[in-house]
Homo-oligomer: A and B are copies of this chain.
Amino acid sequence: MWFSIDFSSHTPVYVQIKDNIKASILSGKLKTGDYIPSIRNLAKDIGVNINTVARAYRELEIDGVIRPQRGEGYVVVGVQSEQIREELKDELLKLLRKCKASGIKQNELIEVVKKVYSGNGGEEFDTES
């Protein structure tokens, strides 16, 4: 499957699932009309309980990102791209402040940014859905 879950993170698994699916849509890996994995399949792949995935999907539905089709699965509706990017940048802002307060130099951080964008250091995704 296309993403991995960090079980040692304090971020709940269902939130990580939501984030991953939103990111996949934003990056174009998932398009409007695509089917995402069934609750049972994804739960099996990730190695978590059905209910955990169900919660993630339920909340994504509330957010208007996906739509359930009983008997068939969940279909991608779309995302508020700009809004999600702003959320990500907000999160980044907080972390950067911590970095600054810890004495990390601006140059070091810009280097990290460049490292991520210079080919490697990026995603380890598959191309199929």
- Chain A contact residues, CB within 8 Å of chain B: 10-12, 15, 19, 22-24, 26-28, 81, 84-85, 88-89, 91-93, 95-104, 106, 108-110, 112-117, 121-123, 125
Contacts and interface: CB of A to CB of B under 8 A. Distances in A.
Given A19-B98, A97-B116, 13 more contacts: A23-B98, A24-B101, A26-B103, A27-B102, A27-B103, A89-B99, A89-B104, A91-B95, A96-B113, A97-B123, A100-B116, A100-B123, A106-B114
A105 to B, nearest CB: 9
A20 B81 CA distance: 32
Contact of A92 (B109, B114, B125): B109
Contacts of A104: 85, 88-89
